Amino acid sequence: MLRARRGLIRGACALCAPVTPTSVTPVGARREQHSTCNVVVVGGGIVGLATARELILRHPSLSFSVVEKEKELASHQSGHNSGVIHSGIYYTPGSLKAKLCVKGASLCYDYCDQKGIPYKKCGKLIVAVEQDEIPRLKALYERGLQNNVRDLKLIGATEIKEKEPYCKGVMALDSPHTGIVNYREVARAFTTDIIEAGGTVLTEFEVNGIEMVKESSADSLEGMKYPVIVRNSKGEEVRCQYVVTCGGLFSDRLSEISGCSPEPRIVPFRGDYLVLKPEKCYLVKGNIYPVPNPRFPFLGVHFTPRMDGNVWLGPNAVLAFKREGYRFCDFSATDFFDSVTFSGLRKLIFKNVYFGIGEMYRASYINAQVKQLQRFIPELSVSDVLRGPSGVRAQALDRDGNLVDDFVFDGGTGAIGSRVLHVRNAPSPAATSSLAIAEMIASEVEQRFGL
Ligand SMILES: Cc1cc2nc3c(=O)[nH]c(=O)nc-3n(C[C@H](O)[C@H](O)[C@H](O)COP(=O)(O)OP(=O)(O)OC[C@H]3O[C@@H](n4cnc5c(N)ncnc54)[C@H](O)[C@@H]3O)c2cc1C
């Protein structure tokens, strides 16, 4: 039985490499075609791993499997992000994002302390460089207070210089509890917890079917106990009672294959980073962010120190032609067709055509991106930066072209739909919030499925 099988953790994570995430492989040369467990979690990103960990810690007598399509865990959004532990300033008071970010950040720091995972509470300044940004900055301050973000304060130009000597600004919101961490390390620690608690992690298992057992086998003992089949194209299957999907960029497709709603749809947005040359890293001490444009869900290009001492600048946001396409030229006919035939995306493009063109221009020309960054650090020049890695965001969109801003979790109806819970939208700050999201999903699973 696969259930009894444990995973092996191997390989160290080079913090500065584009991505060398956690590696878990099943022990043994071959795995069985067929195994059983109580709950399957689809998706080995930080949300899926945190969820499986929480479930297994709460229910040690039940069996859990994580199935992940890649060879490595945390290969996508969880391994391609800014690495910021957000404090919870931006989000609408009362929203899931606001609640789960504030709680998640605190849980994340505690977890890192407990596991010895390095992090830095280097703080963050959200900087207004023009007078007309001040009202929006003050509104953010109020919002942060409503969200119970601790120790926020508004500071003037002199204090900005004290904290960030090379940064220019008229006013800033100082968030001292914002930090940085390598989320791949956090994901790796979650995996260790899962395996130590007796869970199973199966990599290279791309789910292409979630269905009920056939009528003919439903009355067999196993068919009655494990009525849901999670299968891949290699003919392997895990039979289980319940499924939780945490598919990131593929959350809509996973929902669709289980007969649940394909909406909200996911549209991929690539974000490219520039990297400061090592001899110029002195220009940045902590996180420096712009005052965000309220029309967009992205926080704007920022300066972010990394745990390895590098400093990343970015990311921008351009429509990607492939869901997991990290390079400008990456193209998938299926993903492209899916995006352009979706009326929601066409409406979004129509509403934001100038912003979109601007982002594509800045993605193509480093000079244009540096110019945007010079608003904050005038001393920065094109010769100080190199092109860096990219990430792809899973942006959920409704059919009217509205960006779905908050976290979304839902199931379906009917035999299969009532046994599945989908994490439909887990955008930034879901890495920060992962432990709090996991607590919420685990409680939802208990309530829905009577675990
Ligand atoms: C550029 C960028 C910067 C960001 N910066 C931050 C930040 O600073 N702080 C922060 O808190 N958040 C940040 N985020 C957001 C954060 O990274 C994500 O919200 C979080 O990683 C989402 O985790 P996830 O597990 O839902 O998704 P993912 O990490 O994408 O994981 C989903 C997993 O599901 C797997 N999967 C998909 N389909 C299948 C299938 N059919 N079968 C099996 N497996 C499947 C995928 O391979 C993948 O491993 C950023 C995101 C991006 C893209």
Find the 383 Cα to ligand 1 centroid distance in Å.
32
Question: Is the Cβ atom of 21 under 6 angstroms away from ligand 1?
Answer: no
Question: Is the Cβ atom of 184 under 6 angstroms away from ligand 1?
Answer: no
Q: Kindly state the DSSP code that residue 403 receives in the 8-state scheme.
A: B
- Average per-residue pLDDT in the chain? 90
**Helix H or strand E segment including 145:** helix 134-146
pTM: 0.93
Q: Which amino acid belongs to residue 132?
A: D
Per-residue CA distances from 126 to 182, 246, 288 (Å): 22, 31, 6
Q: Out of 316, 428, 434, 441, give the residue to mutate to test ligand 1, the one with the largest number of ligand atoms within 8 Å of its CB.
A: 428
Find the 121 Cα to ligand 1 centroid distance in Å.
23
pLDDT tens-digit map of 335-389: 999 888 999 888 888 888 878 888 887 878 899 999 999 999 999 999 999 999 9
Find the 381 Cα to ligand 1 centroid distance in Å.
32
pLDDT score of 288: 98
Structure tokens at 395: 């942006």
Work out whether strand 385-397 and strand 408-410 pair parallel, antiparallel, or are unpaired: unpaired
**Helix H or strand E segment including 412:** none
Phi, psi of 35, deg, nearest 5: -145, 175
Question: Is the Cβ atom of 44 under 6 angstroms away from ligand 1?
Answer: yes
Q: Is residue 20's pLDDT more than 50?
A: no
pLDDT score of 216: 63
Class of residue 286 by CB neighbours under 10 A (exposed 0-12, middle 13-18, buried 19+): buried
Ligand 1 atom closest to the Cα of residue 246 is 26
pLDDT tens-digit map of 70-118: 999 999 999 999 999 999 999 999 999 999 999 999 999 999 999 999 9
Q: Out of 49, 78, 112, 267, give the residue to mutate to test ligand 1, the one with the largest number of ligand atoms within 8 Å of its CB.
A: 78
Rg (CA), the chain: 22
**Residue 401 — left, alpha, or beta (φ > 0 → left; ψ -120 to 50 → alpha)?**
left
Structure tokens at 373: 């960054």
The CA angle 421-423-426, to the nearest 5 degrees, is: 165
Question: Is the Cβ atom of 77 under 6 angstroms away from ligand 1?
Answer: yes
Question: Is the Cβ atom of 82 under 6 angstroms away from ligand 1?
Answer: yes
**Helix H or strand E segment including 274:** strand 265-276
**Closest C-alpha among 314, 332, 56, 313 to residue 200:** 56
Residues 400-407 have a mean pLDDT of: 89
Find the 188 Cα to ligand 1 centroid distance in Å.
14
Other residues' Cβ atoms within 10 Å of the Cβ of residue 216: 8
**Helix H or strand E segment including 329:** none
pLDDT tens-digit map of 165-215: 999 999 999 999 999 999 999 999 999 999 999 999 999 999 999 999 986
